[in-house]
Amino acid sequence: MTSEERLAFLEKKYEEKLKPITDEELGSAARKKGPGGGPGRGMAMQTGKPKNAKASIARLFGYLADAKWKLVIVFFLVISNTLLGLVASYMLRPIINGLTSGEGIEALIRGLSKMAAVYLGVIICQYLQQRIMIGVSQNAIQKLRNDLFEKLQTLPVRYYDTHNNGDIMSRFTNDVDAVGEMMNNTVIQLFSGSITLIGTLALMIYTNVWLTLITIVMVPLMFKALSIITKRSRAYYKAQQAAIGTLNGFIEETMTGQKVVKVFGHEDASREEFNYLNHDLRSKQIKALFFGGIMGPVMGNMSQISYAMTACIGGILCVARGFDIGGLSIFVNYSRQFSRPINEIAMQVNTIFSALAGAERVFAVMDEEPEKEDPADAIRIIEEDGRLLYEIPKGSAYARENSVIEDVVRQDNICYYKEVKGAVTLKDVTFGYNPEKTVLKDISLYAKPGQKIAFVGSTGAGKTTITNLINRFYDVNEGTITMDGIRVTDIERDSLRRNIAMVLQDTHLFTGTVMENIRYGRLDATDEEVIEAAKMASAHSFIIRLENGYDTMLEGDGANLSQGQRQLINIARAAISRAPVLILDEATSSVDTRTEKHIEKGMDRLMATRTTLVIAHRLSTVRNANAIIVLEHGSIIERGDHAELLEDKGRYYELYTGKSELD
């Protein structure tokens, strides 16, 4: 692939994420063009003004509500600090006039001492306001991060299937950090700048009205310049935040799949793609920082022009109209001070736009539709005297639909209590991840308590989808799924999932000890129960040979263990859960045959007392299943045990004998 073809491929790949910035977003009549009249590569990011800046600001300040009294104190300190600073500046007038009128050194020392005392008050106020505000802002950011993380726990699996992990991570880092920067400094500086502006204007009018009018003439020009710059700056700061998320997502994917990159020799392709995204980010940052950085010099130079005009005309007034030198000295100081808060407010616009862009991305996650709430009368699964029981409220849909509830262990005035056995039934189930494509078509099957049911079929036949539906990672479009005759939608979601153990092909181990990783299956398990689960999974023998045994730290997804060892720990985690239903999704497909034997021994012990649903590509692992279900294109084409299916000489027979292969 040539460099031009590669560039075209990348532009097509990121077409949706990297949209051009519009004229409206830039506040400009014409957009700069890239080569060939199209948008430049540096302008290819999806951007725009905050969709609802007022709503974002209101939500951000909602995180400060608990500290409103501290904020009142901070604002009181800001006002005190500002007023003391203005008073201290005005105290120069009598000091200078005293020097010009021949007052002695004692008067000078007295005046300077008073100024020093006032400035000491300024320092104390600044210290206290910063100390309090940092605590307030960091508490707010902590709450924001907590809310974001808690929201992510409520989102359905569909969200994670359709969003990049690196982009999600950037909400916690870049976006929240930008919001934190605004809360730490910007809020106070904007308030302080406003108070300074009003106070300075009042003292300027008091000192000399005519010079004040000359200074004020420059203000509309300064605000016009500010408006022009901020219109462009806003779009590029939004683009910068989005570009960082896209780049982080690519980095996370590449680092996670580094072995795959090296196996297929795609290092050069990865570098090219990274360079493309990095170049795009650089272009956004250059434009954002340029328009943000130019604001200070533009406002500063206009301030200098205003200062020079004031000084010249003020000098003329001193000579021609008897305006006092002390008054002129403090006025030119106020003239410069008058533009300083405008400059500071202008400089804070960069932080505000960056923070609002980040806040919108954070709130976009928080506004995502969570998993549907369980009904108020949802059925719970509880453990009582070593047994698992359904706690069925007498007002629940299941109780209303069944005048006689079988297998009731006991009942009280509120609930029936029925034993959990683990029978799973799918009846006329139809499902598609999106409306355009149906993945499962009219699927009906059952697994009796303690049975082992195997699913065989080509990739994309719908095997894993069935397990996702049983767990309620997704809800069916049509049909019903029941456990022990109870619809899974009537069971509290957390209760359901706690009682369905899964062993996946892709293991995931958390940073922590081996003991902690196994205990993840049931957090209240004792050390003895963890060891017993490891023995059941055939993991105990290799664990005790590790450097620190069960206290060995695992990092990097268990990088210091082999694939088979990681899978055995995964099986031990499922064993300790005591779940009556077990799902094995190609649990041995990525290990060698010798390791597979160890894993099979562990799984056989695990499956002995549980209803087990197995997805396997190696047909040798499902010969002892009570029933084998063959799926193709989302439909069941064969079912029966190993012997029956071989005798029928259908699709399973062809796969088992090697006459055909799984697609």
Q: What is the pLDDT of residue 479?
A: 93
Average pLDDT value for residue range 478-500:
92
In degrees, rounded to 5, the angle at the alpha carbon of residue 413 between the alpha carbons of residues 408 and 414 is 80
Could you tell me if 348 and 415 lie in one domain? Answer: no
Instruction: Give the sign of the dihedral formed by CA 144, CA 146, CA 150, CA 155.
Output: positive
Low-confidence winner among 21-25, 348-352, 472-476, 609-613 (lowest mean pLDDT): 21-25
CB atoms within 10 A of CB 240: 27
The CA distances from residue 50 to 55, 182, 236, 237, in Å, are: 10, 16, 12, 10
Q: For residue 520, which of 505, 506, 503, 536 has the smallest C-alpha distance? A: 503
- Strand stretches in 413-499, DSSP E: 415-419, 424-431, 440-447, 452-457, 478-483, 486-487
Residue 540, amino acid: H
Q: Is residue 467 part of a domain?
A: yes
Whether residue 430 lies inside any domain: the answer is: no
Averaged pLDDT of the chain: 79
Residue type, 510: F
277 and 134 within one domain? yes
Whether residue 607 lies inside any domain: the answer is yes
| 12 and 92 assigned to the same domain | yes
What was the pLDDT predicted at 481? 95
Q: How confident is the model at residue 372 (pLDDT cuts 50, 70, 90)?
A: confident
Sign of CA dihedral 632, 637, 642, 645: negative
Distance (Å, rounded) from C-alpha 622 to C-alpha 616? 7
> Of the residues 366, 384, 411, which one is the last residue of a structural domain?
366
Within this chain, do residues 350 and 404 fall inside the same structural domain, yes or no?
A: no
Q: What is the DSSP string of 359-383?
A: HHHHHHHHTS--PPPPPTT-BEEEE
259 band by pLDDT with thresholds 50, 70 and 90? low
pLDDT at 544: 92
Joined together, the tokens standing for residue 561 give: 């263990």
The CATH number assigned to the domain holding 125 equals 1.20.1560.10
pLDDT band at 443 (very low <50, low <70, confident <90, very high): very high
Among residues 366, 400, 435, the one where a domain terminates is 366
User: Where are the extended beta strands (E) located within 565-634?
Assistant: 581-585, 611-615, 627-632
Distance CA 50, CA 30 (A): 21
Distances (CA, A) of 542 to 490, 534, 552, 596, 607: 42, 10, 12, 15, 22
Query: 483 and 393 in one domain?
Result: no
- Shared domain check, 470 and 410: no
Give domain status of residue 564, yes or no: yes
Does residue 35 have a pLDDT over 50? no
Q: Residue 398 sits in which domain range? A: 372-420
Percent above pLDDT 70 for the chain: 81
Helix (H) or strand (E) holding 251: helix 209-256
Q: What are the C-alpha distances in Å from 262 to residues 255, 270, 647? A: 11, 10, 45
- 399 and 344 in a common domain: no
Residue 268 lies in a domain: yes
Together in a domain, 348 and 397: no
Q: What's the burial of 51, exposed, middle or buried (CB within 10 Å: 0-12/13-18/19+)?
A: exposed
Please check whether residue 509 lies inside any domain of the structure: yes
Is pLDDT at 48 greater than 80 in this prediction?
no
For residue 637, what are the contacts with CB-CB under 8 A and spacing of at least 6?
Answer: 630, 631, 650, 651
E strands, 62-172, where? none
pTM of the shown model? 0.67
Q: How far apart are CA 623 and CA 308, in angstroms?
A: 93
Contact by Cβ (8 Å): 200, 332: no
Query: What CATH number has the domain bearing residue 478?
Result: 3.40.50.300
DSSP 630: E
How many Å apart are CA 386 and CA 229, to the nearest integer?
69
Is residue 247 in a domain? yes
User: Tens of pLDDT along 285-339?
Assistant: 887 777 767 766 776 677 677 777 777 777 777 766 667 676 667 777 777 766 6
Annotate 172-220 with DSSP letters as a single string. IIIIHHHHHHIIIIIHHHHHHHHHHHHHHHHHHHHH-HHHHHHHHHHHH
Q: Has residue 13 got a pLDDT over 70?
A: no
Do 400 and 322 lie in a common domain? Answer: no
- Please determine, for residue 429, whether its predicted confidence score (pLDDT) is greater than 90: yes
Q: In total, how many domains does the chain have? A: 3
- Angle among Cα 553, 558, 564 to the nearest 5 degrees reads 125
Helix (H) / strand (E) containing 384: strand 380-384
Instruction: Tell me the C-alpha distance between 21 and 310, whole Å.
Output: 42
Q: Torsion over CA of 640, 641, 643 and 646, rounded to 10 degrees?
A: 50
CA–CA distance, 497 with 484 (Å, rounded to integer): 15
Main-chain dihedrals φ then ψ at residue 389, nearest 5 degrees: -130, 145
Structure tokens at 272: 């090219």
Q: 162 and 196 share a domain?
A: yes
- Examine residue 283 and state whether it is found in any structural domain, yes or no: yes
* Same-domain check for residues 356 and 398: no
Residues 200-258: tens digit of each pLDDT: 778 778 777 777 777 777 777 776 776 677 666 767 777 777 787 778 778 877 776 77
Structure tokens at 38: 């199209």
Whether 243 contacts 284, CB under 8 Å: yes
Cα separation, 347 vs 340, whole angstroms: 10
Looking at the structure, tell me whether residues 203 and 108 fall in a common domain: yes
Residues 6+ apart with CB under 8 A from 336: 303, 307
